[in-house]
Chain A
Amino acid sequence: MMDNQRLTNGLQQLADEAEPRQIDVSSVIGKAKAQQRNRRAVLGVSGATAVLLAGALYTTVQVSDSLPMDPAAARPTSTGTTAKQEQGPPYQPITDARAHKFDSQLAAAKADLIPAGFTVGDNPVHPVGDVLRFIGSPGPKGEVDYTAQGMLTNADGTATIQIWVLKNPPGTALEHYYGQVFGPCVVSESNCVRRTLSDGTQAAARPNARPSAMTPSSIMSAQRPDGTYIQVVTNVGERTTPKPLAVPPFDADQLFKFATAFTW
């Protein structure tokens, strides 16, 4: 029987593991104010758009009232379609020039990055639609993160692949960013390979890694001198693909190829 007090104690000891990061209050305040400004700007644009639409609708009604009525033209359109169009993700996916730039960089390097024998497709368990196409999304600190996802399949099974490209200030050391938690190798990681590439890119690869609470994955994180931060994860987790491979694809050398494939 689980004793409530002991559970409380256990949770307290676990919570104590997390060392709070020093908070720069002025930075927090600055970011909050910037978000408020952005929000007001968006609301302003939305308001202006609503006023314009209302004006256009009023004009349309006035004009149509003055015209002879065609019953066919007055037939209502499908509201289901409209409602469907209004649904969408909680944020607008960003497919801007930078996303296309990363798409081009991936296309150029794809033959070298994806090992022979693998095909790339969509994941029927978690469909992404745009297979290995970069889509930007607002990150927690106001930045834009670009993500490309897909599923790798060979004769033995399947694995997911996800690539993240972020931007840090030039000269940033390889570290942990924004929940992309796989940074430099730490002392206890026996299968973590750290390498400084010829262009100065710092990278850490963990082929066939299995951190606690995570299914087998091959992971690479890289920090390029210009600030481009790249992370690649292939995963063979149960319930994430239809037929998970026994071992996640990519050895260290194959993972390191991603470290210089993208430039912000």
Chain B
Amino acid sequence: MSLPSRSDDDGRFEAFVARSNGPLTGLAYLLCGDRHFANDLVQTCLIRLYRVWPRVRDTDSVDAYARKILLRCWLNEWRRAWRRSESRDGVVPDRPSADADPAMRVGQAHRNDVLRAALARVAPRQRAAVVLRYWAQYSVSETARILRCSEGTVKSQTARGLAALREAMAQLDTDTLEELHL
């Protein structure tokens, strides 16, 4: 059996990027709440992933590994003093979709605004735990491996994250809460 060539590796990497760009951008956006920063995080994550790509053989675990790298990139950026002291958002509105009902679109955009603002109030590692558990649907043990902590810590971080999310949501009006079903 011959070792895979560099071009085989690059081909595999290209296929991975095509498949994972969307999900990784979604995860980055949920973590940082900023579209442009999310795209930058994905690019940084892919650069780091490529550096170890020839050693990545287990295709089943590569998604979790990429998410772990993305999370580390985000936490590293979060620790940078200027980013910590200046919470930033810079939301650019979506382009209008021709086939969507305008009222529904506005309502959805409002609900997204509310949820994004609430997530921004949750501490970084708690936010990561909530997003990995409830968006990425990882189990407690999988989340623990990605966050590099114990399962007990994941449970407590998730519970605290949900409580913080609930507290942030409590500041909203009842109608919005009803719409969000939270």
Contact = CB atoms under 8 A, between A and B. Distances in A.
B131 A10 contact: no
A21 B135 contact: no
Contact of A186 (B27, B93, B162, B181): B93
Nearest to A15: B26
A13 B85 contact: no
B181 A6 contact: yes
B77 A179 contact: yes
Given A2-B166, A160-B85, A15 B46 contact: no
Nearest to A8: B134
Contacts of A2: 162, 165-166, 182
A189 B59 CA distance: 44
Interface string B90-129: 1111100000000000001001110111011000000000
A163 to B, nearest CB: 10
A126 B85 contact: yes
A186 B77 CA distance: 26
Contacts of B50: 28-29, 32
Given A186-B92, A213-B87, A11 B112 contact: no
Interface stretch (A46-54, A68-76, A101-109, A233-241): A233-241
B42 interface: yes
Contacts, number: 171
B46 A23 contact: yes
B62 interface: no
A212 B89 contact: yes
Contacts of A20: 21-22, 24-25, 39, 42
A263 interface: no
**Among all A-B residue pairs, the 7 with the closest Cβ atoms:** A181-B90, A15-B26, A18-B29, A32-B50, A11-B135, A21-B39, A20-B25
Given A25-B13, A181-B90, A214-B88, 16 more contacts: A2-B166, A6-B182, A7-B165, A11-B30, A13-B108, A18-B26, A18-B28, A21-B42, A28-B17, A90-B79, A140-B44, A147-B82, A176-B90, A213-B117, A237-B86, A240-B86
Interface of B: 10, 13-14, 17, 21-22, 24-30, 33-44, 46-48, 50-51, 73, 76-77, 79-94, 108, 111-113, 115-117, 119-120, 130-131, 134-135, 137, 162, 165-166, 180-182
18 contacts: A15-B26, A15-B30, A18-B25, A23-B43, A31-B47, A140-B43, A141-B43, A179-B34, A179-B40, A181-B37, A181-B89, A183-B90, A187-B93, A211-B90, A213-B89, A214-B88, A217-B86, A240-B86
Interface of A: 2-4, 6-8, 10-21, 23, 25, 28-29, 31-32, 35-36, 90, 123, 126, 128, 137, 140-141, 147, 149, 160, 162, 176, 178-179, 181-183, 186-188, 211-215, 217, 233, 235, 237, 240
